[in-house]
Structure 1
């Protein structure tokens, strides 16, 4: 039984890392239910293990992104700081809403993000230069041209991501990637790498807080799950360099639709 549990943790972890590495999101919302269903754990047992694995995978992905100059670290730090208070507010709001309402809200958010990204694919066909943006990457430096408007936009994205993180108990990648793509001229690969760095920052704080509050992690399964997630992440980061940005964006849209559909099914049934 233990060997079977370890094997399923290995497979699930690899899949989670692969999805995270390709899309910059999907870790938390996929890892928690996968652990609950495969291991027979409660949500309380699954969440810290999932958070540890997702954070470890995001750290590895961030390092790789930094090595290629894809991470916009100032933007990620601003988003993490701006999301701190909204995360707390989201947690408080979540306690006042039913599970059905929470799942319905999350499904709606995902579907809206998928629609926006689908529309953006059509806009990109006309050329990135024609796309209206609220914050722009300087083509000479490869960094954001920071001003009051850019700072307000990035902080707003972080605040919304933080609110959704607290409200729905998932990472902010599902919010950050589509919003960066919609309102800035950051490439899909850059948005994914920046999202992974954001997740590594927020996740590290979450893991540290959990450990300080005495959360006990199953050592063997946690080690297997974390190692598999890292391996999946490394594979994904190798693959993403050979995939066109449009393909990555289509994979992300498909993931959004699949997760939203599963949530709607659970609400209806």
Structure 2
């Protein structure tokens, strides 16, 4: 039954990813937990495979459009690939209840930040960015000027995203996008494309490590990933008409409801919340 439902769930994840940006893939794991009754440790590698495949497609499109900054993506991806196995190791050893609660908290934080940004955009407030970020783009060469502060910020963001990808099965776009906005002057298209490149590499590394440990349920993972790619392609057709702050608000509210449901589920299984 799970393999029959998986492509439709993947389709929904890919569609949300196309409409909401790199952070939209965070809904993959909750769908698998609620829809297929997987534990979070079982759902994490499946979600990562979908993120890896869908993000690779997004990164390819960004590279073709010459907006993906591959050096910055490479630096963050290397850091993420180093820390991802530690997250995977910890995720397979933590009890499902605390791990689910942790995921719910991360999802709630992402949702609140998305809601604030959408509300700010609806009020006509511009996104606040530093006037002189440490990573600055040379308009003539089309390359970032590197320095110690720039390298530290990107390495730390990549390391955190990699650890969370292994631990929770999330891509980490909600870490990478704010970092690139805060520490670079890249336009939003370049930020999203570069993030996609990092997600593709780090998530693929996480899937590889999980497969070596025999922790990937391929009968669910492959159709789920195929559905995610189809959803991403379909979502790109509608992205121009459906995306915007109202959609971001809806995504944030849905994410908060999912986070509340996951917390309630974790509390019920722990005996803290009555049935």
Q: TM-score, normalised by structure 2?
A: 0.74
Secondary structure of the residue that 2:229 maps to in structure 1? helix
The Cα of 1:15 is off from its aligned counterpart by: 0.6
The Cα of 1:256 is off from its aligned counterpart by: 4.9
Structure 2 stretches of 5 or more lacking a match? 268-272
Residue pair 2:41, 2:96 contacting (<8 A) in 1 also: no
- The yes-or-no answer on 1:261 pairing with 2:275 is no
1:175-254 equivalences under 5 Å are 175-214=175-214, 217-219=217-219, 222-241=221-240, 250=249, 253-254=252-253
Structure 1 stretches of 5 or more lacking a match? none
The Cα of 1:182 is off from its aligned counterpart by: 4.0
1:208-253 Cα deviation digits (max 9, x unpaired): 334444567555x554333221111112234445666656765664
User: Which stretch has the larger CA shift, 239-248 or 193-202?
Assistant: 239-248
- The yes-or-no answer on 1:79 pairing with 2:79 is no
- The yes-or-no answer on 1:56 pairing with 2:53 is yes
Residue pair 1:16, 1:31 contacting (<8 A) in 2 also: yes
Secondary structure of the residue that 1:151 maps to in structure 2? helix
1:90-101 equivalences under 5 Å are 90-91=87-88, 94=91, 99-101=96-98
1:144 and 1:254 map into 2 onto residues whose CA distance is: 36
Secondary structure of the residue that 1:138 maps to in structure 2? strand
Question: In the alignment, which residue of structure 1 is the partner of 2:14?
Answer: 17
- The yes-or-no answer on 1:31 pairing with 2:41 is no
2:53 and 2:129 map into 1 onto residues whose CA distance is: 38
The Cα of 1:100 is off from its aligned counterpart by: 4.6
Question: In the alignment, which residue of structure 1 is the partner of 2:270?
Answer: none
Count, aligned residues: 264
The Cα of 1:51 is off from its aligned counterpart by: 2.8
2:217 and 2:106 map into 1 onto residues whose CA distance is: 31
1:124-145 Cα deviation digits (max 9, x unpaired): 9555686456344527255433
Secondary structure of the residue that 1:19 maps to in structure 2? helix
Residue pair 1:128, 1:185 contacting (<8 A) in 2 also: no
2:258 and 2:180 map into 1 onto residues whose CA distance is: 21
1:89-168 equivalences under 5 Å are 89-91=86-88, 94=91, 99-116=96-113, 122=120, 125=124, 127=126, 131-132=130-131, 134-138=133-137, 140-141=139-140, 142-168=142-168
2:87 and 2:258 map into 1 onto residues whose CA distance is: 21
Residue pair 2:137, 2:186 contacting (<8 A) in 1 also: no
The Cα of 1:94 is off from its aligned counterpart by: 4.9
Alignment CA distance shift 1:111-1:104 (3 Å) = same
